Structure formats: C-alpha cells, structure tokens
Amino acid sequence: MSIEETENEIVEEFELFTDWMEKYEHIIEIGNSVPKIDEKYKDEAHEIKGCQSKVWLHSELKDGKIIYSADSDAIITKGLVGLVIRVFSDHTPEEIINADINFIDKIGLHEHLSPTRSNGLTAMIKQIKFDALALRTIGN
C-alpha cells in the first residue's frame, strides 16, 4: 500500500467515529498495538525531544525499506506515533522523504501538530523524515 493509500485508509477508519471520546478510544487501541521497539533502543539517542511524554523511535533499513518501531510512556502519544508509523513504515527512504502527509488534519487531530504541543506529533514526523534522510545516505 502506498503512503497515500494508508492515509486514506486511516481517514476512512476515523470517519466511523462520531465523537471525540470514540476517536481517542481508537487511538488508545492503536497505542496498544504499536510495533514494539527493542528495549535496548529506549535510550537518550532514540528519544524525541520536545514532548511532555517520553517518545522513543527506532528506524532500520530492511531490503531498501525503512521499518519503524516506537514506544512512549503515554498511551495517547503512543497511539499517535503508531498512526504515523503505520503510514510511513515499510517504504523506501525516498518515498518517506517526499511524502506530504495530510491525514492528521483530515481526522481532526491537527491540534497535536502545534509546535509547542505536549505530545508533539510535529517532532515525531520530523524525526521520521530525518531518520529516512540518514538511512538514504547509508543505503546509497
């Protein structure tokens, strides 16, 4: 599935929910099923700064595609990072770097994008793209 297709799939999924609490219930579910990061990567180097909760992200290249895994000490943050990972994971660095995602806006979670927001989705997306840039260099 392309990045855009996954985005559309998520948007459709969220259309089922009529109120905020249901949406967040779903985010919490996603949080509980995020591809688990290896405990050894939960260190300073993998921590995404600028979030009220702690977030760790690990990226690795497999057959030319990046596989992301993550964790957070806050479950909603983990759900949000889970959504982002679902969109980006298993794509080439090139695809990730060039992706212009907009599903967050579409599912009404844009408030989490504000730069000072405690669970900084912006910081996560930046890190995901940054890792892709770094891995592209290695891949080449």
Partner 1 sequence: MDIVAKIVTKELDVETIRKDFPILQTTVHGKALVYFDNAATSQKPLVIINAIEKYYKETNSNVHRGIHYLSNKATNEFEASRKTIAAHLNASHEEIIFTRGTTEAINLVAFSFGEAFVKSGDEIIISHLEHHSNIVPWQMLCERKGAALKVIPITKEGELKMEEFKKLLSDKTKLVAVNHVSNTLGTVNPVEEIIELAHSKNIPVLLDGAQAVPHMKVDVKKLDVDFYSFSGHKLFGPTGIGVLYGKSKWLNQMPPYQGGGEMIKEVTFEKTTYNDAPLRFEAGTPNIEASIVLAKAIDYVNRIGLDVIAKHEHDLLLYTTERLEKIEGLKIIGTAPHKTAVVSFVVEGIHPSDIGILLDKQGIAVRTGHHCTQPLIDFYKIPGTVRASFAFYNTFEEIDIFVKALNKAISMLK
Q: Which of 51, 75, 83, 84 is catalytic?
A: 51
In the complex, minimum distance from the CB of residue 37 to partner 1, in angstroms, rounded to a whole number: 17
* Closer by beta carbon to partner 1, 117 or else 136: 117
13 noted as active-site residue: no
Q: Which of 12, 38, 43, 73 binds partner 1 (CB under 8 A)?
A: 73
Number of amino acids touching partner 1 (CB under 8 A) = 16
Q: What is the SS3 assignment for 56?
A: strand
Q: What is the SS3 assignment for 83?
A: helix
CA atoms lying within 13 Å on the CB side of residue 17: 15
* Closer by beta carbon to partner 1, 29 or else 60: 29
Residues in the chain: 140
Residue 123 binds partner 1, judged by CB under 8 A: no
* Closer by beta carbon to partner 1, 52 or else 98: 52
Stated as kind and residue range, the H or E segment containing 125 is helix 121-139
Dmax over CA atoms of the chain, in Å, equals: 46
Instruction: Write out the catalytic residue numbers.
Output: 51
